[in-house]
Chains A and B, each alone.
Chain A
């Protein structure tokens, strides 16, 4: 599905990631952890083709990103939902329109009254905020809206970068439950977080593999988690 094979990534003359291999199998659940600045976001970007490895191979659904032009990467992103910590929206559109954006760019006309959209907004608890503009949303609402946007086109993989970074513990638990629910529906999930408490909470609910970036390389986390 998504595969990093002996990948390295250098930036500004320094190597940020090195000899890194990762396979996201269908239906798997992964946590990626490590201190800030170790390259978690970079690794996620390598996983959805926003960055290209400086060495090794990154394959999205079987195709090496080196052989993919920007449009091919864009099309592969329709199969990958991405949630960022600083989730960005189009401020001139309503929350419902923002959530529906992946379908809009794929050429699927969808209205704010669409049943699937209403159900999705209900799933993330944002039905009453459907017509709100992004600047009017709280941090938790933005994170849930970003998650809804990431999954509206039924992606095979969801990549979440510090999805609970800007929200309180209760909201973190709520987002985690939504991600676990997605995984139970067969969606592959990779969450980058430095929140060990969140990882511990998840491990009691889902068989998750925990990975850690140490000295530019990826390792399986120990039992201390």
Chain B
């Protein structure tokens, strides 16, 4: 179980980091989400992996640490809010620049679209 768990965390984080380094906002956001999944699983495992154990002493023979579960829950809530915000922000950036490049445009030397402040109607 530990090996599978570790491989899953590794795969999630590796693909997340790869996507985070892309130049378009959508892969970046997906990458951030994958990283946060990997991080949440990692945080969960910091209380040691156990099967058939409950986080309440006395209900089963062994018990599992409840604190990492509480930490993961907090991290999930915060991560969800942050992801929602960054999605809206990247849509705003797309609308402002008509390009979903993370720098707002492909290349500083590339020809810029006509900058017509009034005409775009946004």
Partners in one complex: no
Chain B interface residues (CB < 8 Å from chain A):
none
